[in-house]
Structure 1
Amino acid sequence: MLHHDLMHPFRKAVEDRDEAAMAALLADNVVFTSPVAFKPYVGKPITAAILRGVLRIFEDFRYVREIDGSDGRDHALVFETGIVGAPGVRITGCDFLHFDDDGLIDDFMVMVRPLSGAKALSEAMGAQFGRIQQEAVEFAERFA
Structure 2
Amino acid sequence: MKQFREAVEARDAQAMQALLADDVVFTSPVAFKPYPGKAITSAILRGVLRVFTDFRYVREINDEGGRDSALIFEANVNGKAVTGCDFIHVNDDGKIDDFMVMVRPLSGAQALAEAMGAQFDQIAAEAAAETTDGAN
Range class of TM-score, shorter chain: over 0.9
Give me the whole-angstrom Cα distance separating, in 1, the residues matched to 2:8 and 2:76: 15
**Counterpart in 2 of 1:131?**
122
Tell me the TM-score normalized by structure 1. 0.92
CA RMSD of superposed structures (Å): 0.8
Task: Measure the CA separation in 2 of the matches of 1:26 and 1:76.
Answer: 16
Asked if 1:42 corresponds to 2:36, the answer is yes
Give 1:55's aligned amino acid: L
**Aligned equivalent of 2:52, options 58, 64, 67:** 58
- Counterpart position of 1:115: 106
Q: CA deviation at 1:141?
A: 1.3
Number of equivalences: 135
Deviation at 1:104, TM superposition (A): 0.2
Q: Which runs of 5+ in 2 are unaligned?
A: none
Deviations 1:61-91 (A, max 9, x none): 00000000121100000000001xx22x100
Structure 2 residue 87 is matched with structure 1 residue 96? yes
1:19 maps onto 2:13 in alignment? yes
TM-score between the two structures when normalised by the length of structure 2: 0.97
- Deviation at residue 126 of structure 1 after TM alignment: 0.2
Percent pairwise identity: 67
Shift of 1:59: 0.2
**2:61 aligned partner:** 67
2:132 corresponds in structure 1 to: 141
